[in-house]
A and B are shown apart, each in its own frame.
Chain A
């Protein structure tokens, strides 16, 4: 099988919450299974070239985000095409918001997103900070650390990534956290997210591999440390 191409969008600008851990996790969990991968950082003004197998984008500072938002619109069609072909996508925090339909700033300005996710986000004056525990039927309990003031509303028909057991999630009042739409996932969970939630990491890897070899079976890894870490965070929130 050829190497899996990981596209990391705006790593130089959307990188303030330890989101590199997600890339490290994807790379390592492929390496441990003998799957080769290559890493492709792409930023403002860069072109997207050819087919990518996993797309990742993290969160950034508010100022950085406006410039990124503009550039992202130029890359929107290619990202949509990838999503249609089943390319797994993970968008965290700022990226999660920019992948929605639009973002309303505290001044009431409406910044367009790329509309990959059926959601809208509005600035609020409350900062939602703390550990998150989220329940999903397939992935089980997931953990992460949220730090956002945007309130995200999922539009009709879209499915939250999971149910909030601890923390805030999409809004200060919400029962849902994140979004899952086909093979694309959006979430507010930093932490980093994937190391502590290996089932989600493997979901992304499996979808990427299956684009190339539909019958490829992912070997099980020893996830005892990952699971203990996840459990230790659940215990901290109790």
Chain B
């Protein structure tokens, strides 16, 4: 009975919110959970006969979920999926309610839920996912999460004795070690053929020490941050052999990549139309998940090749006749990857917008800007517009990274930033790369849709 009241309440809050034009998804969940504290587990009970997939990790949750979802669609598996904006407890409840009838039933065979790292213990204990995918663990928004070690520790505890099948990144020592006490053997994905980024000031090597002893890990190959091929006297911190193993990198560009992957004993050629090494990791995570699910691998690879950018992760939008590419930045590792993938290869003809907010969803602490390898871009000669509540912090970071400050403009609003970036200048015909923190990205999209005649549509290239 409590459950039904909670669902009715949430559903009416959801439709009222829609009438008022609000896109917030947490409120219905908040109301519903107030009425029935056990609502989350009740909402999944008897539903999703083929299981729930939880996708978590610092970077790549949204894209990996989208890839898995595309693969499920390709195989005709009816499922539901939440969005990045609703990956905390209440958002997940809201998603479950929106997709169910008043008795809490729905027709989906599966659910693919991305879950914020901090909520993994409570969400997993409520919904008992059949599969849990962990992409990577980097420092991110320490003010909200506490420290990286405590996240890893909470994961290890959550998955001790779990029946969930874990899908883990073999190349991230923090992630690979969390399944050590799980009941089922995890499925590992990893890259065995990559030369590594050439980041000049990489301050993102978070986890190169063993948790218990503090011993330094030995790296045979370091790709970026603490990702790579590592070994240790302690088996727990020796890289496991990946079950889904990239053994040949054919090409890696800012529009897509080609590579060969060994899946169990089969060798498969894979092509994706998303850029950068991080999207290769997302692809491997998604493939490993479909392997765990027992979906047809060729069908999965076909779907993967068609996956386009997720919300704000490389969508192109037009504004004032210029192509604006929206990219999310939220921590130094992600920022470095975007620099390496998009900006460093051919930096001169482009324009950059950097909008940094410090709302709770962005992380209140902007210290991470100083750990990002902006020095790698300091020879950039194009125009840069900074904006957001921390625009001055961003500008100052650029000054100390050695940028020519004559090229840098500070905008008071995102609208002004877009106008300054796209202002007529015959020498600038390239893409406008808009790098935004989470709330700045939401604001940026809203601004573009309000002031641009072009309908918002995510296109991948």
Contacts and interface: CB of A to CB of B under 8 A. Distances in A.
A63 B211 contact: yes
Nearest to A130: B364
Given A147-B365, A195-B397, A225-B396, A236 B389 contact: yes
Contacts of B397: 21, 195
Residues of B in contact with A, size category: 35 or more
Given A25-B400, A129-B364, A20 B142 contact: no
Contact of B400 (A13, A127, A195): A195
B366 A191 contact: yes
Contacts of A13: 209
A208 to B, nearest CB: 19
A16 B148 contact: yes
Contact of B142 (A12, A15, A21, A147): A147
What's the interface size class on A, roughly?
Answer: 35 or more
Interface string B176-209: 0000000000000000000000000101011011
Nearest to B204: A15
Interface string A155-177: 00000000000000000000000
B367 A21 contact: yes
A15 B203 contact: yes
B298 interface: no
B395 A229 contact: yes
Nearest to B393: A229
Interface in B126-165: 139, 142-143, 146-149
Contacts of B371: 15, 18, 20-21
B342 interface: no
A41 B401 CA distance: 20
Interface string B360-372: 0000111111110
B222 to A, nearest CB: 13
B364 A192 contact: no
B358 A236 contact: yes
Contacts, number: 98
B366 A24 contact: no
A191 B368 CA distance: 8
Contacts of A12: 205, 208
A17 B142 contact: yes
B214 interface: yes
A145 B366 contact: yes
B400 A28 contact: yes
Given A20-B203, A225-B405, A192 B370 contact: yes
Interface string A7-31: 0000011011111110011001000
Contact of A16 (B147, B208, B389, B405): B147
B211 A18 contact: no
Given A62-B147, A145-B364, A196 B396 contact: yes
A13 B369 CA distance: 19
B392 A195 contact: no
A118 interface: no
B399 interface: yes
A226 B358 CA distance: 18
A61 interface: yes
B369 A18 contact: yes
A24 B370 contact: yes
Contacts of B364: 129-131, 145
A41 to B, nearest CB: 12
A232 interface: yes
A64 interface: yes
A229 B365 contact: no
A2 to B, nearest CB: 24
B396 A229 contact: yes
A69 to B, nearest CB: 11
Interface string A201-238: 00000000000000000000000011011001100100
B209 A64 contact: yes
B149 A190 contact: no
A232 B367 CA distance: 15
Interface string B365-400: 111111100000000000000000111110111011
B385 to A, nearest CB: 15
B365 A225 contact: no
Given A18-B368, A62-B149, 14 more contacts: A16-B139, A21-B367, A24-B400, A61-B149, A64-B214, A67-B214, A127-B146, A130-B364, A131-B364, A145-B365, A147-B143, A147-B365, A195-B370, A232-B390
23 contacts: A15-B203, A16-B139, A16-B148, A16-B206, A18-B367, A20-B371, A21-B370, A28-B402, A64-B149, A127-B146, A129-B364, A129-B365, A130-B364, A131-B364, A147-B143, A192-B367, A195-B370, A225-B396, A225-B405, A226-B396, A228-B392, A232-B391, A236-B358
